[in-house]
Structures are given as C-alpha cells and as structure tokens.
Chains A and B, each alone.
Chain A
Amino acid sequence: MRGTVQAMSPTIKVEELRKAYGELRAVDGVSFDVQAGEFFGILGPNGAGKTTTLEMMEGLRQPDSGSVTLFGESPWPRNPRLLPRIGVQLQASSFFERLTAREQIRTFASLYGVTARKADEWLDVVGLADMAGKRNEDLSGGQQQRLSIACALAHGPDLVFLDEPTSGLDPQARRNLWDVLRDISAQGRTVVLTTHYLDEAESLCDRVAIMDHGRILQSGPPATLIRDLDAPTRIAIESGVITADAARGLAEGLDVSDDGVSLTIATRTPAPVLSALAERDAMRGLSVRGATLEDVFLHLTGREYRA
C-alpha cells in the first residue's frame, strides 16, 4: 500500500502543530503525514502530548499555531463534511447516562444513519454480546473501553483515531482487540493510535512516532527504528553456570552483567558467543533478545521507558 500512495496527497497532514496550556508547551512543533491505509502509532509516556495532538487532529481543540488537514480539509472548527468519515475513541469514555450497552451503541450508530442491527454486530466484535443489556454504569472499566471502541467503529469510518485503546484491558481482551484493529486496517482504513505499550506499537503499527515533551523524537517503521539503533543483542543464561569473568573471555568486547538470577551478555555479534556457550555446555535457561522499541526509546530520551 505504502509507496504507491506517495504521489497522492496524504490522508492526514500535520504541520508545525503547537499548543500551550499557560506556560506548559504540551505540543511543541509537531509535523507528520499519514498515508491512506496506514496504521500510524504515536508512542510516548504520560504527559508527552499524545492526546493533545490527537484532539487537534480530530477538531476538538484549536491549535495555537500550525495546521492539520484530514482528506485535504481542516477539522477546525467543527467540519460536518469530515465528521461522517472519522471515528474517534476518546481517552475518557463518554456514554449517555443510564443506558444499556446496546442502547448506547444504537444511539451513537443512529447519529450516523447506521441501523440497529449493524450496531448490534459490533457488540459481538468486541465481545460484549453477553453484556448488551447491562447499563454502562455496571460495566467494568475494560468493558466500557471496548464499548467505546465499538461506538467509534460502528459507522465504518475511513479514518479512525484511538487514544490508548488497550489501556485497562486484560491480556486476552488486548490480543482480541489487536485482531479487530488489524482487520480494520486490512480493510484499507487509516488508523491512528496512541499507546504507552511499546510491544503494541511494534506489533500493530506500520509506522510509529516517538513523542516526549511535546516533540516527535523520531518516526518510522518500528523495524527500521530498531535496526537503525544498532543496539546489541542480549544473551542471558542462568546465573552461576559460568562466572562473569569466564563470560567476558568468550569473545572480544562483551558487556557482561550478573544480577544473581541471570547472567547477561550484550554483544553486536551474537553467533560466536552462542557457539562458545554451547561448547562449554553453558546454555541452561538461555534466552536471546534483540533490541526493541524500548531500547530505541531509551536511546532517544536517555532514560528508562516508564509506561
């Protein structure tokens, strides 16, 4: 999909976007494009400015400066031509009071002219069919979250904004939701998602932008970011099988640490280290871990990632 669409104008174009709350520059000069059909992730810790950026893209907030265009049009002020084409899941769920899950999604769907039957199908998709008769006040946090996503998707929008869709979901629900989102994306829809979870960004997104303190530090496909980082591979074995000193002698330029549970060897050339370990029959509890987005983040910000 990507590559062929470069000639067309992008689905989303964000240029030099800025927004300050008083002294605090929440979004401080952000620019990026998202192409049609792309799955784009904005990754960053609390307070990075993800929600603020998203809200300016959705037309909920007026930028101090800079511009956003969706399908070539400005979303601010409220632009009725764009609204049917976009679907939004807000970070804070918003539901009508004292309505059941089924009534909620039917109400939202009808605002877009979607039938009750089609709306009900979405309850199934997010695994809430059993909860259809429950009032939203009685749903768990994760169930509300899933309902909120279903409400955002029910009218089949071309462009979907999801603000931390998997926060508060149990691991199973999270995997299920990933499948739903992959389906949406496979149908050619454009998806923009924010997340704290590096694994989520890595597994879902075609491209991610890493954001902190209102700025985008780097963006690109997760695999490229990781490769460009040229970070060492970490080989870990059970502590005590060989000493740290013995490990350092296995090959040139190894970075070895032992925390009493595992002995970890960081290296850019894992192959000789692994065969040396095999020769010594010292592979108990072996795990080999390549670099992840976490390393990219660590490298970019100079601090540990704290989700």
Chain B
Amino acid sequence: MSSRDKILAAVKASQPQLTELPKVTIPQSAEGLAERFTTVATAIGSKVYEISDLEEIKAIVSAQFNSSSRIISSLPEMQDIAETDIAQFDPHSLENVGLAILKAEIGIAENAAAWVPESNAMQRVLPFITQHLALVISKSSLVPTMHQAYEVIGDRDYGYAAFIAGPSKTADIEQSLVLGAHGPRSMTVFLLK
C-alpha cells in the first residue's frame, strides 16, 4: 500500500462524524473606507497619497525617490519614468530595481492589505526584490474587510497572488520593529479617485 493510501485510510478511520460548515455573514459598515484604510496603512508604516490623476505620481516619485534608481511599472502611463515591459527578463536581473509602481486590484480598510495578482506584479519576484514599492489602488476598489475581498476575488484564476500590507518588516531582535527585512524598505500607496 502506498503512503498515500495508508494515510487516507488512517484518516478516514479516525475522523469523527461529519459536522456542517457554518453559514455566517459578518456585518460590516462601508463608511469611511478611505479614511480607515489610510489610518491603518500609516500605522503599519506605509505612506498614503490621495491622487486624482496618475500624472501626479510622477511629481511625487521625483520628489521622494533617488532619480538615478531603476524604476519599473505595470502602468503604461509611467512609460517616461519607468521600464514597462519586463516579461521576458530573468527574475534575477531585477536585483537592482529601486522602485516598482504596480496596480493593486483591491484595498482592504481593516488591515491596509492590497491584492496584487501575478498579472499586476509583472514578475512574481518584483514586489519583493525592489527596494521600494508603490501600489496604485482605486478608491472604488476599497472594501471593509477580508470577507468582502474574497467575495470580489471569488473563483478567479491566477497562478500566484498576494495580499501586501506595508513594507517588509521584522521584530525578531528583541521585538524592536525594523522596516526593510528582505523585501521593500518602504511602501507608498496612491489612492486614486
């Protein structure tokens, strides 16, 4: 008997009588989503800018980031400040990226997490290997909690996707918070009207 069949048989013999899955709806308020998102995002170390036009990003980027750093973006509008086609690159060649500007599909008010599926990440490693990350989230795609986020995601197909909340961080040394563990040292969110 293979280990697979052995394990399945042992589990089947040991599992208790079938119980039902719970059916619950968690009531949520959709009030003040942008404010709630911004408060939590700031608390976890992100910077939030409200913008009404993608063009505004360029001015903020040139004021906040080193002009000589390599910038990559999934937004065609960023073409004059960023590389926008990296699909064919070996992921290791992204080692020297300074800033990635990507579009997130959903923003969650309760924890400031943003949903970035593979198609928006351009390359899976990009949101992690870049020194700094900026995500563009439309205000209309903000939801109150994780439950609504998964409702929106539904049964969408993807190879890889991630919720990203803030810059990479660690508190492993005596519980002192340090931003920039292995991934981005900073996270900027552009909330687009």
Real complex partners, A and B?
A: no
Residues of B within 8 A of A (CB): none
